[in-house]
Structure 1
């Protein structure tokens, strides 16, 4: 395993774990939750990029991952806009799961 692949994997794992830790600690605003999910997505992308550079997986997996991450972000922003219009804020605690 080359030095680039190893450092990419380590960076990806650090980003992913920091995103998970942020999700566990900060759940007040929906926008901050979405930002931590995006940090997890970037960490996963870096891990996949290092796997592609070591010829472990097909490069088409990267494009699929990016497309799914973009779709997730757009749906999340749509939910933030819907919550802001209907409830006046984006606090996660102000709305129950079944109320949506």
Structure 2
């Protein structure tokens, strides 16, 4: 049972990475795939900590850092939409 759950979580992680690498056009899709990757890592960390009978305080720290990462990503997305009008990377000049 545990092996199947680990396989599903690793499959989620790989799908999130494939979406992140293949969809470089929109910032919103990239942020969603990053959140999907973090969610799969959260599940994997939860299974690992439950398996070794460890405290779940690390999960709370991980969730706090995940929320901070999501808030930073949304603030970048909002500022990009306000300045350029869309979230395409093609219209965003890095120079």
State the TM-score, normalized to the length of structure 1.
Answer: 0.86
Q: How many residues align?
A: 95
1:81 is aligned, of 71, 78, 84, to 78
Note the residue ranges of structure 1 that are not aligned, 5 or more in a row.
Answer: none
The aligned counterpart of 1:44 is 41
1:66-77 superposed matches below 5 A: 66-77=63-74
What is the deviation of 1:43? 0.7
Deviates more, 1:42-51 or 1:89-98: 89-98
Note the residue ranges of structure 2 that are not aligned, 5 or more in a row.
Answer: none
Q: What are the Cα deviations for residues 24-81 of structure 1, in whole angstroms up to 9, with x where unaligned?
A: 1111110000000011001101100110110265411111111111110010000010
